[in-house]
Structure 1
């Protein structure tokens, strides 16, 4: 029952955002609240709302959600940009976008090692800042050049944010609850990616200056994610 309620809630929110319908979005948010209340009374909930009593856990999970919200729509949006603005074939556009995945594959192990030796919060905040800076630079450069080096930096920033952030999320809960926390990270990823693409659809329908508009919106979400992460670390140090 809880899974069905959560799926329905997310579907309504995504539909409301993509169709610019306040009614559906409001119904989805109300359904999410109802789902939380329903799950809090279950012995074996799908979403363990008790974990959200920890401010640090909640803030870090929100940061992960905002990170996925800010990046998931990049692939389809930039693919269209490369094909329509630069006349690339779908294969060439895909190869160029693969630079992000390559950067993530290279950077993720390095981010893990660095966060183990230093502070995961510092590494994660630095990754979010790098991603935000790359998005900001790309919003100005995309109209004149595909800027593959910036795509690579976006991948590096994503890896250096998400790897230590996930570590911090799992460390913020008791060992017996880490499986549940990991599942909530996955739910945050799905929700963020779904809403990211819904926002992109709305922007595509509403604005002609797609690259700058989308990049500015994504940059704002990453900046908020960085601020939330920093606030969580600041408060955690004083608890």
Structure 2
């Protein structure tokens, strides 16, 4: 197995070997499956609930179980990747994800499907926690932006295209096929990854189970509180969850004080470039969450479009991201990520604001133009931002940086979804417009945070 370590020369050939290409394909397929599963279940939820005779309130746990498991275990898996190697964590994640996808397809009740979704979220967390670190091992340092551009293309496209793909599958098959299709594709990724992924140099540090448990409690309770607030759950459940998150988080930070490679990457967040990049990512993905939860309601309830029309109206965003992300990745090898990300999120903010100001009877062309603007903005942000996160961290902390990328995305999307629910509670039928306006604000804050990276000092070692 090819070994890449920090002791090797930084200059390597620009062209990838056949083994590296197979490893890259495996990473991209696996991350596509993990990302799609976040998006398609939202679209299929009413169908699944009806088939399993579950109430709408109870069926939401099909979504919550996956999000809770993924966010709660992501940083522990990232830490484990730095200790035992990224490759082992990634392979284990694919195996768990494939097995749990089969269990989802075979589920006969809401409890069995929810349990399978917990396992699926754990597998997805293992995949997402180290995928950026593995890409950084495959590509030479001077071309990391291109590799992360491909990763950004897959993540952005799959999340945006999820509702359309789910609608197409449900038009010709039953909901279990949404999960069953993961099995052959996951096995394909596993076969390629097993023989092709690079091995990273493990560290001498030990994995601390108590620290991992505190991390699970912190972020599990945080996502639970967001979910309960989004569903207008009881105030006591939200408050209790937030108290648990704060106490567990404080204990986590105290326990890891002075640790050379903390599970919660406080050492990295002390670096201005890294902290601003993480904030930029959170704001951008909160904007994306606000858009992709509110826009379907906006199109169907406010504008009177049917679900098929809605799916096609959502598609331009993902197509444009697919076109822009690789180009932005290449540009990030030449131009500062702060500049590219700032421009991209300013464009995204303008696109979201244009949706909030949309006339009462817009044409399909007007909607598509706005989706294209948003897609251009989001596509320009993602790859340069991922490169900034990976290159502003020491090479031995690649796992922590990779985990932060995924964590910022998942928490940002969960925050966006919660704010959509809050907007509906505050404004009723005008909720989508309020949510889109909030999204424009998040993107504007992200643009400012990205621009501040141009003057950040002491961020790269």
Q: Structures share a fold, TM > 0.5?
A: yes
What TM-score results when the alignment is normalised by the length of structure 1? 0.89
- Work out which of the residue numbers 213, 230, 234 in structure 1 matches 2:451: 230
Q: Does 1:126 align with 2:314?
A: no
List per-residue Cα deviations over 1:178-235 (Å, max 9, x = no partner). 2220111101111111111011111112213223311211111111111112223212
Q: Which residue in 1 is equivalent to 2:442?
A: 221
Q: Does 1:196 align with 2:416?
A: yes
Work out whether residues 16 and 24 of structure 1, in 8 Å CA contact, stay in contact via their aligned partners in 2: no
Mark the structure with the bigger radius of gyration: 2
- Work out which of the residue numbers 382, 407, 410 in structure 2 matches 1:187: 407
Q: Does 1:10 align with 2:222?
A: yes
**Which gives a bigger RCO, structure 1 or 2 (Cα 8 Å, sep 6+)?**
1
| Secondary structure in 2 matching 1:218 | helix
**Matching of residues 45-64 of structure 1 within 5 Å:** 45-64=262-281
Q: Which residue in 1 is equivalent to 2:293?
A: 76
List per-residue Cα deviations over 1:151-192 (Å, max 9, x = no partner). 111011011011101111111111221222011110111111
Take 2:440 and 2:389, find their aligned partners in 1: how far apart are those partners?
23
CA drift at 1:91? 1.7
Deviating more after overlay: 12-21 vs 162-171: 12-21
What TM-score results when the alignment is normalised by the length of structure 2? 0.48
CA drift at 1:13? 3.8
Take 1:24 and 1:157, find their aligned partners in 2: how far apart are those partners?
38
- Work out which of the residue numbers 303, 326, 332 in structure 2 matches 1:109: 326
Take 1:232 and 1:121, find their aligned partners in 2: how far apart are those partners?
5
List per-residue Cα deviations over 1:43-71 (Å, max 9, x = no partner). 76432322122122112101101111122
Q: Which residue in 1 is equivalent to 2:382?
A: 162
CA RMSD for the aligned pairs? 2.5
CA drift at 1:2? 3.7
Structure 2: runs of 5 or more not aligned:
1-212
